[in-house]
Amino acid sequence: MAAVKRINSEPKPRFQWRGLLLYILPLPLLPASIIALNADNTVAALARAAGFALAIFAATLIRKGIRLQAEGKRRRFKRRASTIPYRMIGAGIVSLAMFIVAMWGLSQHSFLDAIIFSLAVLLGCYFYYDFDPARKDPEVAAVGITTEEIIELLDEAEDKIASIERSSKDIDNIEFRDRLKRIVREARAILDTIEQDPVDARRARKFLKVYLDGAQQVTEGYARTHAGEANPELEDNFRRVLTTIEMVISDQQVKLKENNLSDLEVNIEVLQMQIEKEGVT
């Protein structure tokens, strides 16, 4: 099997700094709402509190849109970052928040002032954070899965693979550690294939969820139960399970290319039953 392009030690950019300012700017509305409440100005207090809540919600949506676009670029996706225009919706909500605060939270402003402020916020979001890119390529949803779902699927698979790697470090048996390295390498090869052709993600969804979950479960279980003295019976059980895992992952590569997953699903069921039978976990 060809080596994948992904490097195991490559840092995974999970945290997105862009857009954090949107969480900071509304913070003064909290003490302002308390001040208005103490002054028996209930309308202003509610307007400021509502503006704060809407602004925080909008910031979350905008940052999600930014994250999805960044993930799409990192994973070489050529489709839209999402079927939902998060940044556009977020910009509209934060603009509404500005209107509410200016109209009812600050009594000195008129209706026209509130409209102008809200439009200024909307334009600011557009120029600084941009809106979601227009559709230029076929939407992944047309084949049964959105790009957002693909990203979540791959992130979950990456977490399971990382867990297998961590657990393998607690296993002293060189044979088992080498076999687990091969399993991890081949699993990442499948993820790399999906990144290059996201349409395969729909067909591989059950494999990524069920197979990797079983591989993670059995590896963590063996590393935990084998921490003490040697147990030849447990080692034989784990060896048989690893053999089945290697067979299943090889079949997955073939079935992905052939677009025939019926036999693969049977192999996954066999793996699940064998894990329970061998009692490795």
pLDDT tens track for 122-132: 999 888 888 86
- Is 20:62 a contact under the CB 8 Å cutoff? no
- Is 54:96 a contact under the CB 8 Å cutoff? yes
Give the per-residue pLDDT at 11.
Answer: 43
Pairwise pLDDT comparison (255 vs 241), residue with the higher score: 241
What does each C-alpha distance from 82 to 13, 146, 181 come to in angstroms? 18, 7, 33
Identify the three-state secondary structure at position 80. Answer: coil
* pTM of the predicted protein model: 0.57
Cα 269 to Cα 250: distance, rounded to the nearest angstrom: 16
Give the per-residue pLDDT at 99.
Answer: 94
pLDDT tens track for 190-243: 888 777 777 667 667 777 777 788 888 888 888 887 755 667 777 888 888 888
- At 209, which amino acid appears? K
Give the per-residue pLDDT at 277.
Answer: 56
pLDDT score of 139 more than 70: no
pLDDT band at 188; cut points 50, 70, 90: confident
pLDDT score of 54 more than 90: yes
Pairwise pLDDT comparison (155 vs 17), residue with the higher score: 155
Cα 95 to Cα 114: distance, rounded to the nearest angstrom: 10
Give the per-residue pLDDT at 230.
Answer: 66
Give the per-residue pLDDT at 191.
Answer: 83
Per-residue three-class SS string for 242-259:
HHHHHHHHHHHHHHHHHC
Give the per-residue pLDDT at 242.
Answer: 86
